[in-house]
Structures are given as structure tokens and as C-alpha cells.
Structure 1
Amino acid sequence: MSTKGQFLREFNEAFVTGDMGFVAEHLTDDITWSMVGEQPVQGKEAFLEVMRSGGSETVLEVVISNIITHGVEAAVNGTMKMQDTSGKVTTYGFCDIYRFSGFKNGLIKELTSYLIRIGDKAIH
């Protein structure tokens, strides 16, 4: 796996586990995060605030299917299972498109996230 591919795996793990320090150090100050269907989030502090607010679901599992890198652009896709406070587990398919500030050791300047609900299952 390429260096950038390994970084993206680590970034996704940090995002899911709430490692704000790791995430923050890899974003530009003027990052734009576009979650398809939502208003874009502008700036590092706003990005981190969305992470902090995180919602009421707990991530149970993330499976990364593909990491594709090319120059200053990259894509990561896979699935994740999340559980709400009632015990219901929902599976989502995701695809994140990244644009970096530079080719080598660049910071994340733009992130576009697609999230599609695949199914629900109650845990008894």
C-alpha cells in the first residue's frame, strides 16, 4: 500500500475513534467538508465541532474496501455498522473523496462524503 493509502487508513481510524489530535493535524485551516445532502462545513474548527457533536450512534465496525490515490486526490470507500441507543444497528455504505493541499505530505483541503443507509437490524 502506498504511503498516502496508509495515511488514509490511519485517518479513517482516527476519525471513527474520535482522535481529534490526529485529525486536526492533517487538515488545512480552510478545509471544506461537503457531506452530500447537507450544508458544507467550512474551516478546521467547524470540522472538529461536527466531529465532537458526533450524534448518538456508536461505531461498531468499519470495513474499508478500497483506497485509491492519484496525485493530490484520493478516494476511500467501504461500509460501517453503527448502533443507536435503543440497540438498533444500521449498516451504511460510504465513499469519501479527498483533495490534498500538495502532492507530498499535503494536508486535507477538501473532503466530500457520501453516506448511504444499507439496512437495519435490531439486537436482542
Structure 2
Amino acid sequence: MSTRKAVVEKYLEGFRRGDHDMILSCLTDDVVWDMYGYTTLQGRRAFAAEIDNEAFTGHPTITVDSLVEEGDTVVAAGGGSAVRKDGDVLHFRFADVFHFDGDLVGRLETYQVNLG
């Protein structure tokens, strides 16, 4: 596995574990996170605030179907689920495009479809 794919795996594992330090260690200080159809965030502080989403409880289940790397970019495609505080389960499919600056993610583009 390449170094960049390993960083993406570490990032996703951080979400699975709810380990914010693990997630943030994969990002540049000025990271940009484009969540299409939702918002754009800039910087680790804004990123950290978003991963503390008050609407959910516990840790998400995330599966990766494929990791594709070309140049400074790694794309992760997969799916998962998360439990809302009201007990409903959100199922989703995603494609995350990780743009690297050296060995850290400098920009992340998230395409997510919520299935219900």
C-alpha cells in the first residue's frame, strides 16, 4: 500500500474509532473540506468542529470498496451508516477525493448520498 493510501486508511479509521487526533494528524493546517451540497470549511479548527456533529451518537460504520491513486490524489469510494441521536440510522454512500500536499491531505472533496 502506498504512503498516501495509508494516510487515507488512517483518516477513515479515525472516524471509525471517533479518534479526532488521528483524523486531524492526516491534514495540513490550512486544509479545505468541500462537502458538496452542504458546506465548505477551511482549516483544522473548522474541520474539528464539523467532526463533532451533535446530531449523531457513537461512531459510524465505514466500508471502503475501492481506493484509487493517481499523482497527488487518492479517491476512496464506499458506504456506511451512522446512528442519529433520535435512534434512526442514516445509511450513505460516498466518494471522497483526497488531494495531498506532501504526505498530508490539503484538500478533501466529499460526495455523499444519504440513503435513509
Q: TM-score range by the shorter chain?
A: 0.7 to 0.9
Higher relative contact order (CA 8 A, sep 6+): 2
* Secondary structure in structure 2 of the residue aligned to 1:37: coil
Q: How does 1:21-60 map to 2 (within 5 A)?
A: 21-60=21-60
* Secondary structure in structure 1 of the residue aligned to 2:56: coil
8 Å Cα contact 2:60-2:80 kept in structure 1: yes
The structure with the largest strand share of the pair is 2
* Secondary structure in structure 2 of the residue aligned to 1:53: coil
8 Å Cα contact 1:32-1:40 kept in structure 2: yes
Deviations 1:28-47 (A, max 9, x none): 11110000012210111111
Structure 2: any 5+ residue segments left out of the alignment? none
Equivalences, count: 116
* Secondary structure in structure 1 of the residue aligned to 2:63: strand
Is 2:88 the counterpart of 1:88?
A: yes
Is 2:101 the counterpart of 1:117?
A: no
TM-score by length of 1: 0.82
Q: Which moved more, 1:81-90 or 1:5-14?
A: 81-90
Aligned counterpart, 1:63: 63
8 Å Cα contact 1:36-1:114 kept in structure 2: yes
TM-score by length of 2: 0.87
In structure 1, C-alpha distance between the alignment counterparts of 2:29 and 2:60, rounded to whole Å: 30
* Structure number, greater radius of gyration: 1
Deviations 1:49-79 (A, max 9, x none): 1112353244452111011112211100101
Cα RMSD for the two superposed structures: 1.7
The match for 1:108 among 64, 85, 105 is 105
Pair 81,53 (structure 1): closer, same or farther in 2 beyond 3 Å: closer
* Secondary structure in structure 1 of the residue aligned to 2:38: coil
Query: How far apart are 1:98 and its partner, in Å?
Result: 0.7
Moved over 4 A (4+): none
**Sequence identity, in percent?**
26
Structure 1: any 5+ residue segments left out of the alignment? 120-124
Is 2:43 the counterpart of 1:9?
A: no
